Homo-oligomer: A and B are copies of this chain.
Amino acid sequence: MESREELAKKSREFRQWYYGRDPKLSPVAEPVAEAFQLINETLFGHIYQRPALDVKTRSLCTIAALTVLNREKQLPGHITGALNCGATKQQIVELITQMLFYGGYPCTVNSLQAAYETFQAYDKEHGKS
């Protein structure tokens, strides 16, 4: 059983690498900081680290879920993460398109728009026009 310190360390490092930064919650969450600490240790310190499924596949599956749930604001973070895991832009676009048949045309259109904006920001940050 891993200690909480180990999990916290893995969570911080993973988030920094995956998102390209360690996303901060709103200051309103300060009183529940301990709860989010545990949540992040569990999700990023353990689950995304489990070797039975590679991180790239985990990331693409998260994008699939965010697409069908129409969670547009969370897509940029996970699309960035997928690119950092080695997924190609086309693979992300393929996946979002396929989701049309599970979550409907509207969520696919909204998610493609999120992908477009995220790809542009990603290229700018990584020095491609």
* A residues neighboring B (CB under 8 Å): 1, 3-4, 7, 25-29, 31-32, 34-39, 41-43, 46-48, 50, 52-53, 57-58, 60-71, 73-74, 88-91, 93-95, 97-107, 109-110, 112-113, 115-116, 119
Contacts and interface: CB of A to CB of B under 8 A. Distances in A.
B94 A50 contact: yes
A103 to B, nearest CB: 5
Contact of A104 (B35, B47, B104, B115): B104
10 contacts: A1-B34, A28-B116, A31-B94, A47-B101, A52-B94, A57-B57, A61-B99, A65-B68, A68-B68, A104-B104
Given A31-B90, A31-B93, A116-B27, A62 B98 contact: yes
